[in-house]
């Protein structure tokens, strides 16, 4: 009685779409119907997609990574969740579909591509955990976009083919977190020494999809897991068994209250351009700067000397290059880069990426 009749709510979907568009200009709402299997019956519901105008604008303001998630529990919900400039989750779009397959993912990605105005995809990257039909849909709809797999799910597949044990798991994560090609090769050799078949299995996976060593430096995002989608799913748990409109309304209310809460928080921030969470990351890096001695090579280039012969790093402040690549991958100066910045007596904020 509280949630309403399931059949009656499907009959109200067209009115619901019209209400959303009227109250939220520039919001994208698409509903797909199919022929009824029973003769002389009206068309029946198949899919529903929505991307609110506020979510579009938020993406354009600085989302760097988009995580795609397949069906959540009993509801066939496809979601796209971004990583915002504070490294928090930012829901972008979602769709209720008949089932997870190539057709539903291609339909979802086609609308998402238009809403987010993704052309060559140079400054965005997508991540998933290999949902059914998603890879084929990507190849057709967004062939030029950088694509990653969640390493946690990669490890799950790794164990399924009998490469289990903590030693191999730790070795896999060392390869995934390697930031340079040299480290990647060295750590792949370590896996080969442990189990040659495991190394061969990993060699069949493109490293650009799961190792930081091969990630693009344009995106400024080095995350390896899709936890942000898992968190979004946990936010809408109580909606999963509701009728269609009640279900969609609960998600809408969750998005609205989250945006309002974040807006109130940001209104209390200082006039500084750097977000508080990013400041905290930088503060932790600054604590470790004292362990390194900067040597100046020329006006812009420095060598950072650590405690051992292997702990030596090169920093080019002019071209924003760093031999370990962490700065290049994230857009945030790490301890070695900060040591060089301080040696030049410059401000750290001027070396943080705009995103």
Query: What is residue 64's predicted lDDT score, i.e. its pLDDT?
Result: 67
If asked whether residues 1 and 121 sit together in one domain, one would say yes
Residue 187 has pLDDT above 60, yes or no: yes
If asked whether residues 220 and 172 sit together in one domain, one would say yes
**199-232 pLDDT tens trace:** 999 999 999 999 999 998 888 889 898 888 778 8
If asked whether residues 43 and 167 sit together in one domain, one would say no
If asked whether residues 174 and 203 sit together in one domain, one would say yes
Instruction: Say if CB 118 and CB 142 are below 8 A apart.
Output: yes
If asked whether residues 64 and 182 sit together in one domain, one would say no
If asked whether residues 250 and 115 sit together in one domain, one would say yes
Q: How many separate domains does the chain show? A: 3
d(CA 222, CA 353): 14
Can you give the residue range of the structural domain that contains 23? 1-143+226-268
- Look at residues 122, 113, 201, 112 and name the one whose alpha carbon lies nearest to residue 154: 201
Residue 272 has pLDDT above 80, yes or no: no
* Boundary of a domain, candidates 246, 268, 290: 268
If asked whether residues 135 and 22 sit together in one domain, one would say yes
If asked whether residues 220 and 234 sit together in one domain, one would say no
Residue 73 has pLDDT above 60, yes or no: no
* Boundary of a domain, candidates 224, 258, 288: 224
If asked whether residues 259 and 121 sit together in one domain, one would say yes
pTM for this prediction: 0.88
If asked whether residues 165 and 216 sit together in one domain, one would say yes
d(CA 66, CA 91): 9
If asked whether residues 54 and 179 sit together in one domain, one would say no
- Look at residues 150, 73, 75, 143 and name the one whose alpha carbon lies nearest to residue 106: 143
If asked whether residues 23 and 136 sit together in one domain, one would say yes
Instruction: Give the pLDDT band of residue 291 (cuts 50, 70, 90).
Output: very high
d(CA 291, CA 286): 10
**144-182 pLDDT tens trace:** 888 899 999 999 999 998 898 999 999 999 999 999 999
């Amino acid at each position: 009685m509280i949630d309403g009749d399931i059949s009656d709510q499907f009959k109200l979907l067209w009115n619901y779409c019209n209400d959303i568009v009227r109250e939220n200009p520039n919001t994208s709402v698409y509903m797909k119907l199919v022929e009824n299997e029973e003769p002389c019956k009206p068309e029946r519901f198949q899919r529903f997609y929505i991307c609110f105008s506020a979510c579009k604008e938020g993406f354009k303001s600085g989302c760097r990574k988009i995580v795609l998630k397949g069906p959540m529990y009993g509801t066939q919900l496809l979601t796209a969740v971004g990583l915002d400039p504070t490294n928090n989750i930012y829901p972008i779009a979602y769709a209720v579909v008949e089932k997870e397959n190539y057709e539903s993912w291609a339909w979802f990605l086609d609308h998402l591509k238009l809403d987010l105005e993704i052309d060559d995809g140079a400054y965005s990257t997508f991540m998933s955990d290999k949902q059914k039909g998603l890879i084929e849909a990507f190849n057709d709809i967004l062939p030029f976009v950088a694509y990653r797999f969640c390493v946690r799910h990669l490890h799950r597949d790794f164990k399924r083919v009998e490469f289990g044990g903590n030693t191999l798991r730790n070795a896999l994560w060392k390869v995934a977190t390697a930031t340079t090609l040299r480290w990647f090769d060295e750590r792949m050799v370590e896996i080969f020494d442990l189990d040659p078949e495991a190394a061969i299995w990993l060699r069949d996976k493109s490293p650009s999809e799961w190792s930081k060593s091969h990630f693009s430096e344009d995106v400024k995002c080095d995350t390896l897991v899709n936890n942000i989608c898992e968190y979004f799913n946990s936010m809408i748990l109580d909606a999963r068994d509701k009728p269609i409109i009640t279900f969609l309304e609960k998600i809408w209310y969750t998005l609205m209250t989250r945006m309002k809460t974040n807006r109130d928080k940001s209104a209390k921030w200082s006039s500084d351009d750097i977000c508080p969470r990013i400041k905290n990351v930088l503060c932790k890096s600054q604590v470790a700067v004292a362990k390194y001695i900067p040597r100046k090579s020329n006006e812009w280039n420095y060598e950072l000397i650590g405690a051992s012969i292997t702990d030596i790093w090169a920093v080019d402040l002019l071209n924003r290059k760093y031999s370990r690549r962490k700065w290049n991958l994230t857009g945030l100066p790490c301890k070695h880069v900060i040591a060089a910045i301080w040696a030049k007596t410059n401000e750290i904020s001027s070396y943080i990426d705009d995103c």
